[in-house]
A = this chain, B = another copy of it.
Amino acid sequence: MTSPARKPSRIQTENRQRIRDAALGLFATYGFRGTTLDQIAEACGMHKPNLIYYFESKEAIHIDLLNMLMEEWLSPLNAMDPDGEPLEEMLGYIRRKMEMSRLYPRESRLFANEIVQGAPRMLPHLESTLKPLFNRQIGIITRWMDAGKLARMHPAHLIFSIWAVTQHYADFEAQIAVLLPGDDKRARGADEFVEMMFRKVLAP
C-alpha cells in the first residue's frame, strides 16, 4: 500500500490516469454495476490486482471519476460574467454546454447514469458543490431579468431546460443517430437550432 500523504510517482500519476480513462468509457456505457474490474483492466492493458493497487476498490475509481467530473462540469457555469451583456452571456454558456456535450459525451453519460439512478454516490456533492453555484447563478439571472435585459421567467426551470437540451445530444446520442442518420451536419444543425431556440426564449 502506498503510504498516506506521499507525493505520487510518475508511474502512479500515469497509471491512475490510464485507469480513469478506461473506466470512464465503461462506466458511462454500462453503468457502475454493469462494468467489471476485468473489463477495466483489459481496456487499459493492466491486470485486475493492479487496479486495486492504484485504487482501493472499484467504487473508489467511480467516486474518483465523479469528483473530477464535478469540477470540469461546472466550469461553464462559473465562467458566466455577472457584468457581461446578459443575452450574450447566456448564449455563451449554452454554446459552451453544447461544446462539452460534443467533446465529452462520456462525462455527460457518466453523470446521466449517476443521476438517473438517484445519485447514490453524488447527492452530498450536489448539495455542497452544485447547489451554491446554482443558487448564485439564479441570483445573477434574476437580476438580469429585473433589469429588463432578459424575458421574465422562472430562472431555475430556465437552467434545467438548458441542461436538458444540451446534454440530450450526448446522453441520447444512440437514439438521435437512428433518427437523424445524416452524420456530417448533425452537430451544426443542433448548435444552430439550440441557439435560435434560446434566443427566442430569452429575448426580453
Contacts and interface: CB of A to CB of B under 8 A. Distances in A.
A119 B30 CA distance: 11
A142 to B, nearest CB: 14
Instruction: Classify chain A's interface size.
Output: 35 or more
Contact of A194 (B161, B180, B197): B161
Contacts of A6: none
Interface stretch (A11-19, A57-65, A89-97, A124-132): A124-132
A123 B174 contact: yes
Interface of A: 29-34, 109, 112-113, 115-119, 123, 126-127, 130-131, 134, 151, 153-154, 156-158, 160-161, 163-165, 167-169, 171-172, 174-176, 178-180, 189-190, 192-194, 196-197, 200-201
